[in-house]
A = this chain, B = another copy of it.
Amino acid sequence: MERKEFRDLASPAEAREAIRSLSLEGGIDRVPLEESRGRVLVARLDAELDVPGFDRASLDGYALRARDTFGADEADPARLEIVGEVHAGEEPAVEVGEGEAVEISTGAVMPPGADAMVPVERTDRVERRSTERASGSAASQEGEDVLIRTSVAPGDNVMFAGADVAAGERALGPGTRITPREIGLLSALGVEEVPVRSRPTVGIVSTGDELVRPGEDLDSGRGEIYDVNSYTIAAGVEDAGGEAVLYPHAGDDQDEMERTLREAAAECDLVCSSGSTSASAVDVIYRVIEERGELLLHGVSVKPGKPMLVGRLEDSAYVGLPGYPVSAMMVFRTFVAPAIREAAGLPEPKSATVSGTMAREERYGEGRLRLMPVGLVEGGAGETLVYPVDKGSGATTSLAEADGVVEVAPETDYLEAGEDVTVRLFSADVRPPTLFGVGEDDPRLNRVLDDLENPRYLSVGSRPALRRLREGVPDVAVVAGPLEREVDAEEFGGWEREWGLVVRPGNPDGIEGVADLVDRDLRFINRTTDSGLRTSLERALEDLADGRDASRRDLAESIEGYDLGLRAHESPARTVAAGDAHAGLGLRETADRLDLAFVPLGDQPVRILANPDRLEKAGVRELATRLEE
Q: Chain B residues near A449: list those with CB within 8 A.
A: 170, 173
Contact of A218 among B190, B219, B238, B349 (CB under 8 A): B190
Residues of B within 8 A of A46 (CB): 446
The answer on a CB contact under 8 Å between B393 and A235 is: no
Q: Tell me which residues across on chain B come within 8 A of A185, comparing CB atoms.
A: 396-397, 399-400
Report the Cα distance A313→B597, complex, angstroms.
54
Distance in angstroms between the alpha carbons of A617 and B329 in the assembled complex: 36
Q: Is the CB of B188 within 8 A of A397?
A: yes
Q: Which residue of B lies closest to A570 (CB)?
A: B168
Quick one: CB contact mask for A47-84 with B, threshold 8 Å, 1 for yes?
10111111010101000000000000000000000000
Interface pair B428/A349, CB less than 8 Å apart = yes
Question: Once the chains are docked, how many angstroms separate the CA of A187 from the CA of B397?
Answer: 9
Q: Interface size for chain A: under 10, 10 to 19, 20 to 34, or 35 or more residues?
A: 35 or more
Do residues B395 and A164 form an inter-chain contact, with CB atoms below 8 A? yes
Contact indicator B50/A568 (Cβ below 8 Å): yes
Contact: B235 with A183, CB < 8 Å? yes
A454 to B173, alpha carbons, bound, how many Å? 8
Within the assembled complex, what's the spacing in Å between the Cα atoms of A109 and B210? 10
Instruction: Select the stretch in A5-13, A223-231, A259-267, A541-549 that faces chain B.
Output: A223-231
Enumerate chain B residues within 8 angstroms of A222, measured Cβ to Cβ: 89-91, 109
A325-B188 contact given A214-B33, A450-B173, A574-B167, CB 8 Å threshold: yes
Residues 412 to 464 of chain A near chain B (Cβ within 8 Å): 426-431, 441, 446, 449-450, 452-455, 457, 459
A231→B162 CA distance, assembly (Å): 22
Q: How far is the CB of A372 from chain B (nearest CB, A)?
A: 15
Known contacts A51-B396, A170-B446; A210/B89 CB under 8 A: yes
Evaluate whether A54 and B181 lie within 8 angstroms (CB atoms) in the complex, with A164-B395, A187-B214 already known: no
Residues of B within 8 A of A214 (CB): 33, 186-187, 189-192
Cross-interface CB contact of A183 among B52, B231, B453, B457, cutoff 8 Å:
B231
Contacts of A184 in B (CB 8 A): 228, 231-232, 325, 329, 396-397, 399-400
Shortest Cβ distance from residue A585 to the other chain B in the assembled complex, whole angstroms = 13
Collect the chain B residues with CB atoms within 8 Å of residue A221's CB: 54, 91, 109
Q: Is the CB of B176 within 8 A of A454?
A: yes
Q: Is A234 engaged at the interface, CB distance under 8 Å to the other chain?
A: yes
The reply to whether the CB of A371 lies closer than 8 angstroms to some CB of chain B is no
Q: Is the CB of A187 within 8 A of B226?
A: yes
Contact with B along A470-500 (1 / 0, CB 8 A): 0000000000000000000000000000000
Say yes or no: B568 contacts A166, CB within 8 Å.
yes
Q: How far is the CA of A226 from the CA of B107 in the complex (A)?
A: 12
Q: Is the CB of B571 within 8 A of A50?
A: yes
- Give the contacting residue for A426; candidates B180, B231, B232; CB below 8 A: B180
* CB-CB under 8 A for A228 and B188, given A167-B574, A221-B91: yes
Partner pick for A181 among B107, B393, B400, CB 8 A cutoff: B400
Which residues of A, 502-544, contact B by the 8 Å Cβ criterion? none
Verify if A215 is at the interface (C-beta below 8 Å from B).
yes
Copies of this polypeptide in the complex: 2
- Among A160, A175, A181, A400, chain B packs the most CB atoms within 10 A around the CB of A181
Cβ-based interface call for A163 (8 A): yes
Q: Which residues of B contact A209 (CB under 8 A)?
A: 87-90
Q: Does A133 contact B (CB under 8 A)?
A: no
When A192-B215, A210-B89 are in contact, do A239 and B37 touch as well, CB less than 8 Å? yes
Q: A167 touching B571 by the CB < 8 A rule? A: yes
Query: B167 and A34: CB pair below 8 A?
Result: no
Q: Which residues in B have their C-beta under 8 angstroms from that of A131? A: none
Question: How many Å lie between the Cα of A173 and that of B437 in the bound state?
Answer: 13
Question: By CB atoms of chain B within 10 A, which of A209, A225, A392, A430 has the most?
Answer: A225
- By a beta-carbon cutoff of 8 Å, the part of chain A in contact with chain B is 33-34, 37, 44, 46-47, 49-54, 56, 58, 60, 86-91, 105-109, 159-177, 179-193, 208-212, 214-216, 218-228, 230-236, 238-239, 246, 252, 276-278, 323, 325, 329, 347, 349-351, 391-397, 399-400, 402, 426-431, 441, 446, 449-450, 452-455, 457, 459, 566-571, 573-574, 590
Q: List 25 A-B contacts (CB under 8 A).
A: A34-B235, A34-B246, A49-B218, A52-B225, A58-B393, A89-B208, A107-B210, A107-B225, A109-B220, A161-B220, A162-B567, A163-B567, A166-B568, A168-B568, A168-B574, A171-B400, A173-B454, A181-B402, A184-B396, A184-B400, A186-B214, A188-B397, A189-B214, A190-B214, A190-B215
